[in-house]
Each structure stands twice: as structure tokens, then as C-alpha cells.
């Protein structure tokens, strides 16, 4: 029999919450996303990933959470540029990515390059972010019941 961790997703927790509590969750998520973005950029600089690598640092963006949709996603979508000669594209890659491999993943995960920046920031901050979001949502929930 599988054991349950006892945790509930934020989406399920906020299902029956009022607008004020949902907005508090969205604000906490947006604040945490900004903090995490700054840490990721700092890690990129420490790893030697500069702007000359195709604007990888500047492409880092987070979708904003709202009261209606309290969810945020941090992403960096930079792809290898299209080939200069038509028809020189690798046919095996067709349809898989826009013009090739999104090289942020290659820089972070390839055994040859191995310069982690995103996941190290997430592993360092995830416990703190989770506690902050839980505390702010709980506080908003308590203040609404009074």
C-alpha cells in the first residue's frame, strides 16, 4: 500500500477559497518567482553563462500568477538558430524542436558542459518558498475568518 505524504497541492487547497486568499497565494507565488529568477541569474553568472550565449539570461521569464490561476512557471526558451543554408537541417530533428535543441537544457544537463543553474537555485530555495507561500495563504485564510 502506498504511503501518502499528507501534502495537498495548492490548486486543491485553494479550490473553495475566497478571492482574497487566492490573491494572497498569487502574490506570494509571484514574489517567490522573482526571488528564484534572481537566484537563477546569479547562478548563471557564477557558472560563466554570459549574454553572449544567445541571450539565455535575458530570456528567463516567469508567468505571473493571478487570483483566478494561482500558478507560475519559470522558463527560458532560447533555441539554436536556424541554419543559414536551406536544407542543411538535420532531418532527425524535424518537428522535435523549433530549430534545434533548446540550449539552456544542454548547458545545464549535458555531461560535457554541465553548468547547472536552474535546478541548483530551485533546490536551494524550494523549502523556503514553500514555507513562505503556506504562511501567507494561512495568514490570509485566518484573517478572513475573523
Half-sphere exposure of 104 (CA within 13 A, CB side): 21
Length of the chain: 146
Alpha carbon separation from 7 to 1, 35, 114, 120, 136 (Å, rounded): 17, 24, 33, 23, 17
Q: Count of CB atoms within 10 A of residue 43's CB?
A: 19
Q: Where are the alpha helices (DSSP H) in 3-145?
A: 10-13, 19-47, 103-109, 118-145
CB 121 within 8 A of CB 36: yes
Alpha carbon separation from 96 to 29, 93, 101, 105, 133 (Å, rounded): 31, 5, 9, 14, 36
- Distance separating alpha carbons of residues 129 and 133, to the nearest angstrom: 6
- Distance separating alpha carbons of residues 67 and 80, to the nearest angstrom: 36
3-class SS of residue 74: strand
CB 59 within 8 A of CB 76: yes
Tens place of pLDDT for every residue, the chain, 146 residues? 444 455 778 888 788 888 899 999 999 999 999 999 999 888 888 888 776 555 777 778 888 999 988 888 888 776 666 666 665 555 555 544 455 556 677 777 777 778 888 888 989 999 999 999 989 998 988 887 64
Amino acid at each position: 500500500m502506498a504511503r501518502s505524504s499528507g501534502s495537498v497541492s495548492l490548486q486543491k487547497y485553494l479550490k473553495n477559497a475566497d478571492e482574497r486568499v487566492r490573491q494572497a497565494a498569487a502574490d506570494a507565488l509571484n514574489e517567490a518567482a522573482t526571488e528564484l529568477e534572481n537566484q537563477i541569474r546569479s547562478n548563471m553568472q557564477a557558472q560563466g553563462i554570459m549574454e553572449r550565449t544567445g541571450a539565455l539570461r535575458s530570456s528567463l521569464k516567469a508567468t505571473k500568477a493571478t487570483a483566478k490561476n494561482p500558478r507560475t512557471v519559470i522558463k527560458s526558451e532560447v533555441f539554436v538558430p536556424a541554419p543559414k543554408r536551406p536544407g542543411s537541417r538535420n532531418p532527425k530533428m524535424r518537428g522535435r524542436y523549433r530549430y534545434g535543441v533548446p540550449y539552456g537544457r544542454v548547458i545545464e544537463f549535458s555531461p560535457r558542459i554541465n553548468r547547472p543553474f536552474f535546478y541548483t537555485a530551485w533546490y536551494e530555495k524550494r523549502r523556503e518558498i514553500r514555507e513562505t507561500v503556506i504562511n501567507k495563504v494561512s495568514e490570509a485564510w485566518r484573517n478572513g475568518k475573523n
